[in-house]
């Protein structure tokens, strides 16, 4: 790896209670608040419920069309997101979730105006 790349990656020990998004060496670092079980519960318990999607750092997007599609572990760190295709699911560490994005009722992402 090149020196520019090594210089761009901070050791995790230097980060206090925050998650860091590692970007390409030509981009700047963004510091993000870690996703918490309380933030996810807030979206799941919203009245009326608004469908959303969970964005992961590897680019995957997990759709949550209904609150019953998510099961939270008692610890609150792990979530199981059920897919509408039979018995398929994804296990997600909430610290790796980068964003919760609202969707329209038909499953498409809502545009911000």
- Each residue of 71-105: pLDDT tens digit? 999 999 999 999 877 789 999 999 999 889 998 65
- Location of each CATH 2.30.30.100 domain in the chain: 37-102
The verdict on pTM exceeding 0.85 is no
Choose from 10-14, 50-54, 99-103 the range with maximum mean pLDDT. Answer: 50-54
Q: What is the dihedral of CA 34, 35, 37, 40, to 10 degrees?
A: 160
Mark 72-88 as b/e (b = at least 16 C-beta within 10 Å). Answer: eeeeeeebebbeeeeee
pLDDT value at residue 32: 58
For residue 105, the model assigns a pLDDT of 57
Does the domain at 37-102 match CATH 2.30.30.100? Answer given as yes
Least confident of 8-22, 42-56, 57-71: 8-22
Provide the Cα torsion 8, 14, 19, 23; round to 10°.
Answer: 0
What token pair was written down for 15?
A: 């980060």
Residue of 55, 61, 63, 44 lying closest to 104 (CA atoms): 63
Please tell me which residue, 82 or 2, carries the higher pLDDT value: 82
């Amino acid at each position: 790896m090149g020196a520019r790349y090594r210089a761009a990656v901070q050791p995790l020990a230097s980060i206090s209670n925050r998650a860091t998004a590692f970007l390409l060496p030509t981009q700047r670092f963004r510091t993000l608040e870690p996703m918490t079980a309380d933030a996810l519960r807030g979206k799941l318990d919203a009245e009326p419920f608004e469908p959303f999607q969970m964005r992961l750092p590897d680019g995957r997007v997990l759709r949550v069309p209904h609150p019953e599609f998510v099961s939270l572990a008692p610890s609150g760190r792990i979530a199981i997101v059920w897919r509408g295709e039979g018995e398929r699911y994804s296990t997600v560490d909430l610290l790796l979730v980068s964003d919760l994005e609202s969707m329209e009722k038909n499953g498409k992402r809502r545009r911000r105006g």
